[in-house]
Amino acid sequence: MTQQRRIGVLGGTFDPIHLGHLGAAEVARSTLGLDEVLVVPSHIPPHRLAQPDASGYHRFAMVALAAASVSCLVASDLELVREGRSYTAATLRDLHRRGFRPSQLFFITGADAFAEIATWHEYPAVLDLSHFVVIARPGFPVETLRSRLPGLASRMRTVAGAAWSQARDNPPDRTSVLLVEATTPDVSSTQIRERIRGAQPLSGLVPSAVELHIYRHGLYAPDHGPSAHEPDSHAHEHI
């Protein structure tokens, strides 16, 4: 019997995408044997009061440029073309409608974000829509989540070394919270935007193609605003 495909889902504002995002995607892909990782920019982030600085058009373009240079990464406009707030539950259900079972999907997030899972839309039902791959963040080891979220401890599996085997560790249709202790680049989009406004270099923070796109279009500069020529199709936008 052919093993079912494993699809990672990395959502976020990506304002802009950076090497921390790509590091998390690669850790999840290699640790869990994922066939590909969808990188999904949000349309309207639920937990953010202000709108993203860059338009959906530019954020998708930067994600596409970053994904093009990394094997198994695929830029997806799944949330950008959907009206309203970009909820994880809605995105995962969209993927179910496209033929993916919950046990095939692996939603990738940081330990700091997952610590707030009880505030996510449709919690706790959202945890049944996909596996959740929780990756350590600098200063936030994943094992602390067992004590922070005792009600979810029974669903948590620590993943290390060889790729996690769902057949061994989980019933076929049961989703898990997979804890991955790994080191990823300590980068934030806020830090990058501040560096741009201070005319500081971005080397080691974003892929070179993304840096070129940012400066070519004047993104995040103090006087930058939506350009008249930017298409509206992606101007509409997760946890």
Query: Cβ distance 79 to 121 under 8 Å?
Result: no
Using CA atoms, how far residue 35 sits from 76, 106, 108, 234, in Å, is 15, 11, 14, 27
Q: What is the pLDDT of residue 162?
A: 54
pLDDT the model gives residue 122: 97
pLDDT confidence of residue 165: 58
Mean pLDDT by 10 residues, the chain (239 residues): 79 96 96 96 80 94 96 96 93 97 96 96 97 94 96 93 56 84 94 94 95 96 53 34
**Secondary structure (3-state) at 130:** coil
Q: Is the pTM of this model over 0.75?
A: yes
3-state secondary structure (DSSP) of residue 193: helix
Tens of pLDDT, residues 148-203 = 999 999 999 999 755 565 545 555 568 999 999 999 999 999 999 999 999 899 99
The C-alpha atoms of residue 162 and residue 11 are separated, in whole angstroms, by: 25
Question: Which pLDDT value is given to residue 222?
Answer: 80
Q: Which domains does the chain have, with CATH numbers?
A: 7-221 (3.40.50.620)
What phi and psi values does residue 76 have, to the nearest 5 degrees? Answer: -130, 135
In this prediction, residue 120 carries a pLDDT of 96
pLDDT at 3: 58
Calculate Rg over the CA atoms of the chain.
18
| Alpha helix positions (H), the chain | 19-32, 56-68, 88-97, 111-114, 145-148, 166-169, 189-197, 208-216
